[in-house]
Chain A
Amino acid sequence: MQGARPIRVLIAKPGLDGHDRGAKVIARALRDAGMEVIYTGLRQTPEQIVEAAIQEDVDVIGLSILSGAHNVLFPRIMELLREKGVDDILVIGGGVIPHEDISFLKQCGIAEIFTPGTPLSQIIDFIKNNVRI
């Protein structure tokens, strides 16, 4: 359920790809929906993303990747979150991610993968309904 303070979200770009149109559009949509949003910028390592999530005390991490490196980088991020004891953060992902990879990513602890064409409202609702705050 939604608490008194706004939901805090980190939008992060792991990997080396420079496509952040989607990340930026989503960051802005979440902000317009009343959330507090931080965007990391490009080329973030899993370590940098987890560090930023802890520093900024976020409730949600949104990972965006279009390079195909998701099967390596997403699990690494989840592992680091567990190591740091902050695995109560809701983690969602999006980008060019083949359907057949989604169940593996969910097993690793990613709550949901949003593929191209997902309405922004669906992502906003998912966050509101699943965030632990």
Chain B
Amino acid sequence: MFDKESLKKLEQEKARWESTTVEKAIKKFPERYEKFYTGSNLEVDRLYTPLDIQNIDYMKDLGFPGEYPFTRGIQPTMYRGRLWTMRQYAGFGTAEESNKRYKFLLSQGQTGLSVAFDLPTQIGYDSDHPLAQGEVGKVGVAIDSLQDMEILFDGIPLDKVSTSMTINAPAAILLAMYIAVAEKQGVSPDKLSGTIQNDILKEYVARGTYIFPPEPSMRLITDIFEFCSKHVPKWNTISISGYHIREAGATAVQEVAFTLANGIAYVEAAIKAGLDVDEFAPRLSFFFNAHNDLFEEVAKFRAARRLWARIMKERFKAKDPRSMMLRFHTQTAGSTLTAQQPDNNIIRVTIQALAAVLGGTQSLHTNSKDEALALPTEESVRIALRTQQIIAYESGVTETIDPLAGSYYVEYLTKQIEEKAMEYIQKIDELGGAPKAIEKGYIQQEIQDSAYKYQQEIESGRRIVVGVNMFQVEEEPPKNLLKVDPEVEKIQRQKLNNLKATRDNIAVKNALDELSKKAASNENLMPAIINCVKAYATLGEICDTLRRVFGEYKATVTF
């Protein structure tokens, strides 16, 4: 972008500046550290100039918004056309309580729903399973059958809202329930829009809510890809998630690398299952973390977009530009929230949310200030939502596209992250792809090493966390935390008993037997799963049927 002559001149001038002006200043006031680093430990220079981005080719590396390689954004007009979807992850207790919270959020100007399920639901156990004890309704809403799902979306028109569901191992079942609820509302599947997380590989690596071994899990995923491409064309069939990988301790580079490596594995699995890349790839979506280091995070989002576009075009020979677009949801980094001085978290979330918006996110969840302590109260969720609204309507950052492009620092970082992530992806390719690298424990070990290093930096004081290892105060224990009613478990058990006493149990048995047969064959499982949920088979019954055919995943433990 710069001619050779002026770069040469600049190089000389920079050397002069360093040896005179800077030298003099440093003698008087030394810099705070000998070396500086980003939040993810990339070294940061004192100053960036055109010298640091001389290898960037504008048309090849940046291009225009809505065009390959999408570095500057996936839409031609970005937020000038439409703002991102404000989508707060919520759910707790019973379907009735969560339904109330969703209606509250929609009334406050939220534009999409995001369903949190409790852990028994995520791991495929009914609320009356022994392992569900103490967990029912705790970190999300308890869903045992279609009946709960009908209550959850009662009075919410499914053709008008888009719904994201954080569900992985049993994603096919919850999607089937959603389709069945919509049908009862008179909404056909082709009108539905939303997302299922459906990303099992990162469950093995970082999040832990796996059920089945990798092979049948990947089959369930590709069955969903195929089914949705025909019947639910507006549905995002997967949300390939770096969020939890980052939360587990990965760096920004590792987040991009391991997420895209998982993405590559899903694309390969679908192609192997006989699907055409442009048939399913436009519905792949991503989910990233927004951490504290503003510029590094913006660079990360831009790098991820460019890298994915290149992978899809060059490696998988996609032809449809939509197959190359990395569309993503962002959540601010839960692991950066502190239990100490919780009000400080509002400021952390603001910076993180700003990074997501400057990085071109399609939807955003902002964490609430009290989430290092408990589930958020209605009041703290409102502040979190208002944070997004202030960025959207008052800060002005939305009025032009990709406003940090051209910053010598941000462009340099974007390139750095892309290159370093690509090195990891090559290493993972050498190990035989993401599933193999996970099986060998390679990805887990890399993340654990980063997590340990991060904690040691806090211990040594080189990494400062305000209110934790600096600027501490004596505090009163926080009050007014949200408490989930322990009665939920009893209520859910009661509902299950009633359901089992009133449904057509022969129809249930037939539907489950049919599913069992299909699971042992190569046929797409979605129609059989939809039959099961419509017969009011419970989530646990459906998962147990599949467990008997598929077996269960056993993790290898390292630390």
Contact = CB atoms under 8 A, between A and B. Distances in A.
Interface in B120-172: 120, 122-123, 130-135, 138-139
B468 interface: yes
A19 B206 CA distance: 8
A18 B483 CA distance: 21
For chain B, the bracket of interface size reads: 35 or more
Contacts of A120: 455, 459
B374 interface: yes
Interface range, A side: 35 or more
Interface stretch (A54-62, A82-90, A111-119, A125-133): A111-119
Given A99-B477, A99-B478, A19 B459 contact: no
A3 interface: no
B374 A96 contact: yes
Interface string B319-342: 000000000000000010011100
B73 interface: no
A28 B449 CA distance: 10
Contacts of B135: 15-16, 67-69
Nearest to B469: A119
Given A42-B555, A68-B138, A17 B119 contact: yes
A43 to B, nearest CB: 7
B547 to A, nearest CB: 14
A21 B131 contact: no
A67 B339 contact: no
A117 B340 contact: yes
A123 to B, nearest CB: 11
Given A69-B134, A98-B373, A119-B459, A16 B555 contact: no
A45 B455 contact: no
Interface in A100-114: 100
A31 to B, nearest CB: 8
Interface string B298-329: 00000000000000000000000000000000
Interface of A: 11, 15-21, 23-25, 27-29, 37, 39-43, 45, 67-73, 96, 98-100, 115-117, 119-121
Closest 10 CB pairs of A and B: A18-B208, A72-B134, A69-B134, A16-B119, A99-B477, A68-B138, A41-B557, A24-B559, A27-B559, A116-B339
Interface of B: 119-120, 122-123, 130-135, 138-139, 203, 206-209, 247-249, 335, 338-340, 372-375, 448, 451-452, 455, 459, 465, 468-469, 477-478, 481, 483-484, 555, 557, 559
